[in-house]
Structure 1
Amino acid sequence: MNNSKLYILFVLDILKTNKKGLSPIRCRLTYQQKRKVFSISLNVNPKKWNSKLQKMKSTDKDCNYVNNQLSLIKSKINQAFLYLQMNEKQFDVEDIYIQYSGDHTRKIKYLLEVFDIHNQRFLKLVGKEYSMSTYIKLKEARKHTYEFIKFKFNKNDILLESIKLNFIDDFDFYLKTEKNHKQITINKTIQRLKKIIKLALGEGYLSRDPFILYHPKRVEKKIVYLTKEELTELENHKFIQKRIQQVADMFIFCCYTGLAYNEMASLESSHIHKGFDGNDWIKMTRKKTKREISIPLLAKSKEILAKYQESENLKLLPIISNQKFNSYLKEISDVIGFEKNLTHHVARKTFATTILLYNDIPMEIVSELLGHSKISTTQESYAKVVQSKVSEHIKELNTKLTSEK
């Protein structure tokens, strides 16, 4: 229950005294240092008004009627205030007036309310436009936002209009110090919060954008991938345990196709099509972005599929959970002596770098093969790889020009 006190004051609007010498009474509510003034449709003679006692001085019939009305209005306001104290997690003076007046077409004004509206809409699109994993990340962002509000303000929610740039900066600091999140994770959480603010602005719940001067802290992205030599070493190594060899084969397959775990795990013969060039292509929808992807089957990837074609499963590759897959990759890394932490995602990065970019495949084609929704995603991730490749070309050019002299 909110323990802040509500102040109710009736005041005369002398400036609007009519020709009969009567002035309108206005009610002024003050709560948490905010005011709400409104008309109560009562006009009185200022000479008969006692501001200290908050009622008419005279006992004539008209004055008794006004005093009774004032008492009823005050009682209704107190009832509305009590109702909000018992039922609302947080409210302001405008909410008290709305509850009193009976106009419940209240505009959404709280951050987590908008978060819930957004997430409820999003949930209905899961499986149609978005994946469940993206929805789960939005729920996590909502949870972190709630915990920050509770930590910082000891409240269950916060008014949208009270959100300023320092709220975002403080949220960043909280996630870093209290949650021990890395900056890249913090940036993602704040990016999801920004979507909620954008919705609030679009719906008219918020009049100004607190993100207008916000710039996310830069994160140095380090792309972990296998070099040509490391990939060759992995391909040539024969593992004694069958389960380890299977995971190694599937990892290598993804190094030559760039498939994410979900697509690799669901790959079936129906996804293999003969292309216009006479080659076999993988054609399927990427679950994360809902984009159609077409990936040519290179010789090594065909070789691995052929190895498992006798399987009784509908899937073209052995079935294994993502968790176990990454666990076995750690064993593979230890056996071979890689210092890199192998995960399934490293195979996807290897496809983009060692297989494509280092073989002069243009960035636009790399983005298309990876199934990225925007080429900027590819550019941000692989800009340094491209710079390194450019540097190699410049060295070759420099050597060539020098030898020609």
Structure 2
Amino acid sequence: MSRSTFKVLFYVNGSKEKDGIVPIMGRVTINGTVSQFSCKQSIPKTLWDVKGNKAKGKGKEAREINLTLDNIKAQIIKHYQRISDREAFVTAEMVRNAYQGIGSEYETLIKAFDKDCANFLKRVGKDRTIGTYKVMVRARNYVAAFIKAFYKRNDMSMLELTPDFIKEFAAYLTTERNLKNATIWLNCMWLKGVVMRAHYNGLIPRNPFAQFHISPNVKEREYLTEDEIRTVMTHEFENLSLAFVRDLFVFACFTALSFVDMKELTTDEIVEINGEKWIIGKRHKTDVPFQVKLLDIPLQIIERYKHLSKGKLVFGEINYWTMCKQLKKVIKECGIEKQISYHCARYTFGTLALTKGMPIESVSRVLGHTNIITTQIYAKITTQKLDNDLTMFGNKLNKAFNDVSMI
């Protein structure tokens, strides 16, 4: 292993001379990298010892300047040793910045990640959710574990990062953590975002991950067919907790509410229009208005759990992670072999609504989408939908060509 070359020297900047006074500058050199800085000191040009890199003589001014320069050099050596103990790659700029207190929070990757996590946490409850914050922290911990496993360190300099780092990180998540492609993509995007922000803020000279791309390769979203919904609705559960979880899932299938919107549903949002009950509110995620008519089945569910309501909350206090875990048991007990989450209820609603002939514009309004393109993602072209559309088209063609015979 080659030995590091480290040197600190002082000189005066003759080009800035004014009335015979020149500013004293410092220069750090490490392995060929050079970084300069101002010592915040000035000296008569005639008093500077060019060869000795210090003030001449033993006068009071010379002694004070030399003492200041010795202190600066000691501080720089201290920073150099501290960074060398922690990092495998040290540059003159890193040491100078540490001495000047520039970018100290972003000296290393994990520190940068922690800084971003802290900033994200401040936004939780405003325009970010605690669930997303936990996903970000999990990505941070994966990066820390990767550095520990492959670099045998607890952290590393942002300047050490190369395009290969994120590629190796993705491979680590595949081979060592057994994560699926979509989850690997998500963790890499968190990492890429942290480094990108550091670059945009001028803390690193380039973004080593700028050209990195990985496809999320997300599987087609699951939804329940009409027969499967009927199976779930009619299944008798011995466990009352599972029955409750099933009922809320069915409620979501018939109203297209996301879990958080269902959790926050209040009696104030249930209004009567022309003698019928409607939910009129704004989506938690986008703050976009939505409205949906309460059909008989969701009305039955609201009435069934009226005793659980707390304050104005229709379903009382419900926890997302607990409900999702139990939903898997519900689907399995019903004999359905699909990976179903509460969010799949919205896909189920969109698919059924379009299959039954509801215009996509109306479906988009019910779902509370800001763009109809988003609604098209939910639209599943089922065999039943194709059969209905082609039958209708065939009937019209038969009527149009009824008087025509093939020759």
Q: Is the 8 A contact 1:8 1:27 kept in 2?
A: no
Hey, what does 1:129 align to over in structure 2?
127
Deviates further, 141-150 or 280-289: 280-289
Q: 1:312 to 1:295 in 2, by over 3 A?
A: closer
Deviates further, 313-322 or 114-123: 313-322
Q: Please show how residues 92-111 of structure 1 align to structure 2 within 5 Å.
A: 92-98=91-97, 103-106=100-103, 108=106, 110-111=108-109
Q: 1:375 to 1:331 in 2, by over 3 A?
A: same
Shift of 1:269: 1.7
Hey, what does 2:404 align to over in structure 1?
none
Length, aligned pairs only: 384
Q: Please show how residues 11-26 of structure 1 align to structure 2 within 5 Å.
A: none
Structure 1 residue corresponding to 2:77, chosen from 69, 74, 81:
81
Q: Is the 8 A contact 1:77 1:97 kept in 2?
A: no
Q: Please show how residues 215-254 of structure 1 align to structure 2 within 5 Å.
A: 215-239=213-237, 242-254=240-252
Partner amino acid, structure 2, of 1:283: I
Indicate yes or no: 2:281 matched with 1:299. Answer: no
Report the Cα distance in structure 2 between the residues aligned to 1:161 and 1:375, rounded to whole angstroms.
Answer: 43
Structure 1 residue corresponding to 2:177, chosen from 176, 179, 185:
179
Shift of 1:307: 3.1
Partner amino acid, structure 1, of 2:279: I
Q: Please show how residues 214-363 of structure 1 align to structure 2 within 5 Å.
A: 214-239=212-237, 242-275=240-273, 279-309=276-306, 313-314=310-311, 315-317=313-315, 321-326=319-324, 328-354=326-352, 356-363=353-360
Shift of 1:49: 7.8
Secondary structure at the aligned position of 1:36 is classed as strand
Report the Cα distance in structure 2 between the residues aligned to 1:288 and 1:200, rounded to whole angstroms.
Answer: 28
Shift of 1:205: 2.9
Q: Please show how residues 152-167 of structure 1 align to structure 2 within 5 Å.
A: 152-167=150-165
TM-align CA RMSD: 4.5
Report the Cα distance in structure 2 between the residues aligned to 1:71 and 1:312, rounded to whole angstroms.
Answer: 74
Report the Cα distance in structure 2 between the residues aligned to 1:290 and 1:194, rounded to whole angstroms.
Answer: 28
Question: 1:351-402 deviations in whole A, cap 9, x for unaligned?
Answer: 2222x232344555444433456655554x436x148787556633663466
Q: Is the 8 A contact 2:290 2:368 kept in 1?
A: yes
Hey, what does 2:394 align to over in structure 1?
399
Q: 1:106 to 1:224 in 2, by over 3 A?
A: closer
Hey, what does 1:117 align to over in structure 2?
115
Partner amino acid, structure 2, of 1:7: F
Hey, what does 1:21 align to over in structure 2?
none
Q: 1:95 to 1:291 in 2, by over 3 A?
A: same
Report the Cα distance in structure 1 between the residues aligned to 2:3 and 2:361, rounded to whole angstroms.
Answer: 59
Q: Is the 8 A contact 1:246 1:318 kept in 2?
A: no
Stretches of structure 2 that go unaligned for 5 or more consecutive residues are: 18-22, 402-407
Q: Is the 8 A contact 1:10 1:25 kept in 2?
A: no
Q: 1:97 to 1:362 in 2, by over 3 A?
A: same
Report the Cα distance in structure 1 between the residues aligned to 2:309 and 2:6, rounded to whole angstroms.
Answer: 77
Q: Is the 8 A contact 2:281 2:290 kept in 1?
A: yes
Hey, what does 1:369 align to over in structure 2?
366
Q: 1:282 to 1:4 in 2, by over 3 A?
A: farther
Q: Is the 8 A contact 2:109 2:158 kept in 1?
A: yes
Partner amino acid, structure 2, of 1:30: T
Q: Please show how residues 134-145 of structure 1 align to structure 2 within 5 Å.
A: 134-145=132-143
Partner amino acid, structure 1, of 2:390: K
Q: Percent identity?
A: 27
Partner amino acid, structure 1, of 2:127: E
Deviates further, 34-43 or 261-270: 34-43
Q: 1:389 to 1:201 in 2, by over 3 A?
A: farther
Shift of 1:270: 2.2
Shift of 1:323: 5.0
Of the two structures, which has the highest relative contact order with CA contacts closer than 8 Å and spacing of 6 or more?
Answer: 1
Indicate yes or no: 2:144 matched with 1:146. Answer: yes
Partner amino acid, structure 2, of 1:188: L
Secondary structure at the aligned position of 1:256 is classed as helix
Partner amino acid, structure 2, of 1:35: V
Report the Cα distance in structure 1 between the residues aligned to 2:69 and 2:310, rounded to whole angstroms.
Answer: 75
Q: Is the 8 A contact 1:197 1:209 kept in 2?
A: yes
Deviates further, 315-324 or 224-233: 315-324
Q: Is the 8 A contact 1:31 1:92 kept in 2?
A: yes
